[in-house]
Amino acid sequence: MADDFGWVADAMYKTVPWVSTAGVKFTELAADRVVATLPDVEGQRNHIGGPHAAVMFGLAETASGAVGLGSFAHLMDRAVPLVVKSEIRYRKVAMGELTAEAVLGRPAAEVIAELDEGKRPEFPVDCTIRNAESVTTAEMTVVWTLRPNAKPA
Protein backbone atom coordinates (compact mmCIF):
# COMPACT_ATOMS: atom_id res chain seq x y z
CA MET A 1 0.00 0.00 0.00
CA ALA A 2 1.37 3.41 -0.92
CA ASP A 3 2.23 5.19 2.32
CA ASP A 4 1.17 8.55 0.91
CA PHE A 5 -2.43 7.38 0.54
CA GLY A 6 -2.91 5.29 3.68
CA TRP A 7 -5.03 8.15 5.00
CA VAL A 8 -7.66 7.26 2.36
CA ALA A 9 -8.38 3.92 4.05
CA ASP A 10 -8.55 5.60 7.47
CA ALA A 11 -10.98 8.20 6.13
CA MET A 12 -13.18 5.54 4.52
CA TYR A 13 -13.37 3.53 7.76
CA LYS A 14 -14.24 6.64 9.78
CA THR A 15 -16.79 8.22 7.44
CA VAL A 16 -18.53 5.24 5.82
CA PRO A 17 -19.60 2.77 8.53
CA TRP A 18 -20.54 0.05 5.99
CA VAL A 19 -16.88 -0.28 4.98
CA SER A 20 -15.87 -1.55 8.43
CA THR A 21 -19.10 -3.48 8.99
CA ALA A 22 -18.70 -5.42 5.74
CA GLY A 23 -15.01 -6.12 6.35
CA VAL A 24 -13.56 -4.26 3.36
CA LYS A 25 -9.76 -4.05 3.38
CA PHE A 26 -7.69 -1.76 1.18
CA THR A 27 -4.59 -3.45 -0.25
CA GLU A 28 -3.44 -0.81 -2.74
CA LEU A 29 -4.09 2.91 -2.59
CA ALA A 30 -3.10 5.61 -5.06
CA ALA A 31 -4.82 8.79 -6.25
CA ASP A 32 -6.13 7.17 -9.42
CA ARG A 33 -6.29 3.46 -8.49
CA VAL A 34 -7.50 1.50 -5.47
CA VAL A 35 -7.66 -2.23 -4.80
CA ALA A 36 -9.98 -3.42 -2.05
CA THR A 37 -10.88 -6.91 -0.83
CA LEU A 38 -13.87 -8.43 0.87
CA PRO A 39 -13.72 -11.75 2.73
CA ASP A 40 -16.18 -14.56 2.12
CA VAL A 41 -18.77 -14.12 4.88
CA GLU A 42 -21.50 -16.72 5.21
CA GLY A 43 -24.09 -14.11 6.21
CA GLN A 44 -23.42 -12.14 3.01
CA ARG A 45 -23.98 -15.03 0.59
CA ASN A 46 -26.74 -15.48 -1.96
CA HIS A 47 -28.93 -18.50 -2.72
CA ILE A 48 -26.09 -20.35 -4.53
CA GLY A 49 -23.45 -19.80 -1.86
CA GLY A 50 -21.50 -16.92 -3.36
CA PRO A 51 -21.31 -13.27 -2.34
CA HIS A 52 -24.67 -11.53 -2.77
CA ALA A 53 -24.88 -9.14 -5.73
CA ALA A 54 -25.39 -6.24 -3.33
CA VAL A 55 -22.13 -7.09 -1.58
CA MET A 56 -20.27 -7.18 -4.90
CA PHE A 57 -21.77 -3.82 -5.82
CA GLY A 58 -20.87 -2.39 -2.42
CA LEU A 59 -17.25 -3.49 -2.66
CA ALA A 60 -16.79 -1.90 -6.08
CA GLU A 61 -18.63 1.28 -5.13
CA THR A 62 -16.47 1.57 -2.01
CA ALA A 63 -13.28 1.19 -4.06
CA SER A 64 -14.54 3.81 -6.52
CA GLY A 65 -15.26 6.21 -3.68
CA ALA A 66 -11.74 5.72 -2.36
CA VAL A 67 -10.41 6.68 -5.80
CA GLY A 68 -12.50 9.86 -5.72
CA LEU A 69 -11.25 10.66 -2.23
CA GLY A 70 -7.64 10.04 -3.17
CA SER A 71 -7.91 12.18 -6.30
CA PHE A 72 -10.02 15.05 -5.00
CA ALA A 73 -9.76 15.26 -1.18
CA HIS A 74 -8.00 18.61 -1.48
CA LEU A 75 -11.22 20.00 -3.02
CA MET A 76 -13.61 18.94 -0.24
CA ASP A 77 -13.80 22.50 1.08
CA ARG A 78 -15.23 23.47 -2.35
CA ALA A 79 -17.26 20.45 -3.43
CA VAL A 80 -18.92 17.24 -2.25
CA PRO A 81 -18.41 13.98 -4.17
CA LEU A 82 -21.68 12.22 -5.01
CA VAL A 83 -22.58 9.19 -7.12
CA VAL A 84 -24.52 10.16 -10.26
CA LYS A 85 -25.10 6.67 -11.64
CA SER A 86 -23.58 3.23 -11.75
CA GLU A 87 -23.82 0.19 -13.95
CA ILE A 88 -22.70 -3.30 -13.05
CA ARG A 89 -22.21 -6.16 -15.46
CA TYR A 90 -22.08 -9.61 -13.88
CA ARG A 91 -19.78 -11.87 -15.93
CA LYS A 92 -19.31 -15.10 -13.95
CA VAL A 93 -20.66 -16.60 -10.76
CA ALA A 94 -18.61 -15.25 -7.87
CA MET A 95 -17.50 -17.50 -5.03
CA GLY A 96 -15.24 -16.81 -2.09
CA GLU A 97 -13.18 -13.74 -1.31
CA LEU A 98 -13.49 -10.86 -3.76
CA THR A 99 -11.13 -8.15 -4.95
CA ALA A 100 -12.23 -4.93 -6.61
CA GLU A 101 -9.83 -2.79 -8.60
CA ALA A 102 -11.08 0.75 -9.25
CA VAL A 103 -9.39 3.12 -11.73
CA LEU A 104 -10.13 6.79 -12.38
CA GLY A 105 -11.56 7.04 -15.90
CA ARG A 106 -10.37 10.52 -16.85
CA PRO A 107 -7.49 12.75 -15.83
CA ALA A 108 -8.03 14.44 -12.48
CA ALA A 109 -6.69 17.71 -13.94
CA GLU A 110 -9.63 17.81 -16.40
CA VAL A 111 -12.13 17.33 -13.58
CA ILE A 112 -10.49 20.04 -11.49
CA ALA A 113 -10.42 22.44 -14.46
CA GLU A 114 -14.17 22.00 -14.93
CA LEU A 115 -14.78 22.67 -11.24
CA ASP A 116 -12.57 25.77 -11.49
CA GLU A 117 -14.73 26.94 -14.42
CA GLY A 118 -17.80 26.80 -12.19
CA LYS A 119 -19.12 23.56 -13.68
CA ARG A 120 -20.28 20.44 -11.89
CA PRO A 121 -17.81 17.91 -13.29
CA GLU A 122 -18.49 14.21 -13.65
CA PHE A 123 -15.89 11.48 -13.74
CA PRO A 124 -16.18 7.72 -14.24
CA VAL A 125 -14.41 5.16 -12.11
CA ASP A 126 -14.06 1.76 -13.80
CA CYS A 127 -14.10 -1.24 -11.49
CA THR A 128 -13.21 -4.89 -12.02
CA ILE A 129 -14.35 -7.45 -9.46
CA ARG A 130 -12.35 -10.68 -9.31
CA ASN A 131 -12.52 -13.87 -7.28
CA ALA A 132 -9.61 -15.41 -5.36
CA GLU A 133 -8.33 -17.02 -8.58
CA SER A 134 -8.23 -13.57 -10.29
CA VAL A 135 -11.16 -14.46 -12.58
CA THR A 136 -13.26 -11.40 -13.46
CA THR A 137 -16.73 -11.95 -12.02
CA ALA A 138 -18.16 -8.47 -12.65
CA GLU A 139 -17.32 -5.08 -14.10
CA MET A 140 -18.81 -1.86 -12.89
CA THR A 141 -18.66 1.80 -13.84
CA VAL A 142 -19.52 4.38 -11.22
CA VAL A 143 -19.98 7.95 -12.41
CA TRP A 144 -19.29 10.51 -9.71
CA THR A 145 -19.76 14.26 -9.63
CA LEU A 146 -18.17 17.00 -7.58
CA ARG A 147 -21.13 19.11 -6.49
CA PRO A 148 -19.90 22.62 -5.67
CA ASN A 149 -20.69 23.70 -2.13
CA ALA A 150 -23.26 26.43 -1.70
CA LYS A 151 -21.68 29.85 -1.54
CA PRO A 152 -22.23 31.70 1.74
CA ALA A 153 -24.93 34.36 1.55
Q: The domain spanning residue 32 has which CATH number?
A: 3.10.129.10
Please check whether residue 99 lies inside any domain of the structure.
Answer: yes
Q: What are the strands of the beta sheet with 136-148, ordered from one edge?
A: 25-29, 33-38, 98-104, 122-130, 136-148, 79-90
For 47-65, b where at least 16 C-beta lie within 10 A, e where not — what string?
A: eeebbeeebbbbbbbbbbb
pLDDT at 3: 53
Whether 43 maps to a domain, the answer reads: yes
Count of domains observed in the chain: 1
For residue 52, report the phi and psi dihedrals to the nearest 5 degrees.
Answer: -60, 150
Q: How far apart are CA 121 and CA 110, in angstroms?
A: 9
Distance of CA 135 to the CA centre of its chain: 19
pLDDT value of residue 153: 64
Q: Return the SS3 of 40.
A: coil
- The pLDDT value recorded for residue 1 is 42
Alpha-carbon gap, residue 137 to 89, rounded angstroms: 9
Tell me whether residue 153 is in a domain. no
Instruction: Please say whether the beta carbons of 130 and 153 come within 8 A.
Output: no
Q: Which range marks the domain in which residue 73 is found? A: 3-148
pLDDT of res. 2: 42
pLDDT beneath 50, residues of the chain: 1-2
In a domain, 88, yes or no: yes
